[in-house]
Amino acid sequence: MATTSAVDRLRSRIGHTVAPISATVEAGHLKRFTEAIGDPNPRWNTEAPPTYLVALVPASMHLAEAEEYGKGWLNGGPVRVGDRITATARVAEVYEKTGSSGSLLFIIFETDYVNQHGRTVARLRGTAIRR
Amino acid sequence: MTMQVGQEIPALVKHPTTRQLVQYAGAQGDFYEIHYDQDFARSVALPGVILHGLLKAAFLGQLVTDWLGERGTLKSFEVSYRGIDVPGRPYRCRGKIVKVDGPKIELEVWGEDPDGNRTTAGSATVLLNE
């Protein structure tokens, strides 16, 4: 069960962003990624498949003792080889849910990915749970 | 193209291997040992190394993009991890249409192990080309 102080500490970080990280989509890395996921679609020679951005820029802030529960992507445009992507992550929400097995703490991270033209190409929402 | 609520899209069966987990660890930069070190995985009460949640998300992404092709754009995509999967067991990705609103199609997607357990569940929204 999450202690009140842990909840308060996490809540105090809502809206807090870590320093943005930038990376360029390289053909070689994209190829290694699509080989790793085993997706042979030739479209991915030049364009990034749906989950690629998490591999390009480590997305969520790591949180000790919390386990990954899920991820969601909201897409704003294609990501292509040569694009320069800047990712900015923040804690978006922290809430507690009480179920049959006790209290669970949900931590929602959001990461915005913006390309070199200032276009938001994706917003990632990651959910972690602390038991 | 007919899009009807309840219609299943073609399933995608993946055959993950330990080699693939190492490839994915490298490509993703996720070096948590539960994905490639059998002794470590067992020491934290797992049956052995397990698939990355994001690898299963990528499989479900492929399910949708294989079906959609160039007919439209994937607007949103969401997955949650409900159970573990181990290499050497086929992973079946499935999806069905749950809502049709003009060019906007909503899908339920999920991945299941050979026993039929839905170890990953999610949804996707696509916008068909006009």
Q: Indicate yes or no: CB of A36 within 8 angstroms of CB of B62.
A: no
Which secondary structure element, helix H or strand E, spans residue B7, and what is its range? none
Q: Please report the pLDDT score of residue A4 as a whole number.
A: 63
Classify the phi-psi angles of A15: left when phi > 0, otherwise alpha if psi is within -120 to 50, otherwise beta.
Answer: left
Nearest CA in chain A to B54: A51
Going residue by residue through chain B, which has 130 residues, state the pLDDT in tens, using 9 for 90 and above: 678 999 999 999 999 999 999 999 999 988 899 999 999 999 999 999 999 999 999 999 999 999 999 999 999 999 999 999 999 999 999 999 999 999 999 999 999 999 999 999 999 999 999 8
Residue A9 has pLDDT above 80, yes or no: no
Q: Indicate yes or no: CB of B58 within 8 angstroms of CB of A37.
A: yes
B80 burial class (0-12, 13-18, 19+ CB within 10 angstroms)? Answer: middle
Spatial neighbors of A66 by CB under 8 A, at least 6 apart, are A105, A107, A128, A129, A130
The ipTM assigned to this model is 0.95
List the CATH code of the domain at B8-16+52-128.
3.10.129.10
A39 burial class (0-12, 13-18, 19+ CB within 10 angstroms)? Answer: buried
Contacts of A37 in chain B (CB under 8 A): 24, 27, 55, 58-59, 62
For residue B58, the distance in angstroms to the closest alpha carbon of chain A comes to 6
Please state the rounded mean pLDDT for residues A112-119: 96
Q: Which of A29, A51, A68 sits opposite B61 (nearest CB)?
A: A51
Q: Indicate yes or no: CB of A32 within 8 angstroms of CB of B28.
A: no
Contacts of B76 in chain A (CB under 8 A): 72-75
With H, G, I as helix, E, B as strand and everything else as coil, classify residue B103: coil
Instruction: Looking at the structure, give the CATH architecture of the domain made up of residues A4-130.
Output: Roll (3.10)
Residue A38 has pLDDT above 90, yes or no: yes
- Bridge partners of B93, per DSSP, are B12, B111
Domain boundaries defined on chain B: 8-16+52-128
Question: Residue A108 phi/psi, 5° resolution?
Answer: -110, 125
Asked if B124 and B107 count as a contact pair (C-beta separation under 8 A), the reply is yes
Domain boundaries defined on chain A: 4-130
Contacts of B14 in chain A (CB under 8 A): 38
